[in-house]
Amino acid sequence: MCKRFRVPSLFRAAFAEFIGTYILVVIGNGSIAQSQLTNGEKGDYFTINWGWALGCSLGILISANISGGHLNPAVTLALALVRHFPWKKLPVYWCAQYLGAMAASGTVLGVYHEGKVDGEFRIRKNITEPGMASIFANYPAPYSSASIGLVEEILSTMIFMLVICVVTDKRYSNVPNFLQPLYIGFTLLAIGVAYGSNGGYALNPARDLAPRLVTFLGGWGLGVFSFRGYNWFWIFLVGPHVGALLGVGVFHIFLKTELTDWAPERVSSSSLKRPEKPIGAYKQSEFGFPSSLWHLQPLNNNNLVDSSKIMMPISRSGARRTSQISTRWI
């Protein structure tokens, strides 16, 4: 009997990133196309924000169990820099993310191709409006400067990355896995509501560069890059990477250190049903102490925990000692 065919884990992860990014961009750009091509009759700025938020949540939901649901080269780079992701996999993830965004943009272009206005694709010279090219990539409002656009992109991506770190760190927020995509999606919605009018909010290099390449190949011409004298498209390559690094840095330097590295994990009231047995145990590798387990000892039969003492059995000598470590976070 033939053995079951097994797909290599790295290939599965790459495909998960591809399909997750595809879902993100095909729903996000699709919401813009529907709004623009119907002159706002079947969509507006708020529905566009919801489209990106839902696309983000669904993309993460689909890919998280296999690849972690990055969907964003800036997120992948930031996680690699703090050693939460192996460097050797970074090029594979980046390729999958960019290819997923390109495939999604091509899908939107194909589905809405008949909706173009009088066959006008190209961005003409000396024009302040990009026309339908803005369905796919981010372009500035007439009053927006490149410096403000860069600052806004860095700030927005920093907030986005900070929330990702908080939501996905079990010792910090304890958010259930199935709710994490919703929190991240709602963060994207909040940023779009607050900072989307000046020049869009990519927060993701793949979400902007890949669709921009599709529009270049699809008939819009070099104007998608030369808009404002080549002084705009680079913002959505530089800004997200800088913002993601700042966000992960803020979390690991200022927020995570004391609370999550040394505080015992929170224990819900539902886990205090049988006080005659240890309520929680932690492995040696999590805290670096010589004991093999930490046992929280019950105080009495009223489902209470002694908040001042933790008994630590020492693995080598077998002796016990009492540590005055606060358990206020339990």
| Cβ atoms of residues 96 and 104 within 8 Å | no
Residues 204/70, Cβ–Cβ less than 8 Å: no
Q: How many residues does the chain have?
A: 330
Q: Beta strand pairing status for 310-313 and 320-323?
A: antiparallel
Q: Bridge partners of 295?
A: 311
Q: Cα–Cα distance between 124 and 138 in angstroms, integer?
A: 17
Model pTM score: 0.76
User: Which part of the chain has CATH 1.20.1080.10?
Assistant: 9-113+124-262
Nearest of 228, 247, 73, 19 to residue 139 by alpha carbon: 228
pLDDT along the chain (330 residues), means of 10: 76 97 97 90 94 98 96 97 94 98 95 64 60 90 92 97 95 92 97 92 96 90 88 95 97 76 45 44 38 38 46 47 38
- Cβ atoms of 251 and 165 closer than 8 Å: yes
Q: Which residues contact 329 (CB under 8 A, 6 or more apart)?
A: 259, 263, 264, 265, 266
Q: What is the pLDDT of residue 330?
A: 31
Structure tokens given for 101: 């965004």
CATH topology for the 9-113+124-262 domain = Glycerol uptake facilitator protein (1.20.1080)
First to last CA, the chain: 53
Tokens 């979400």 correspond to 207
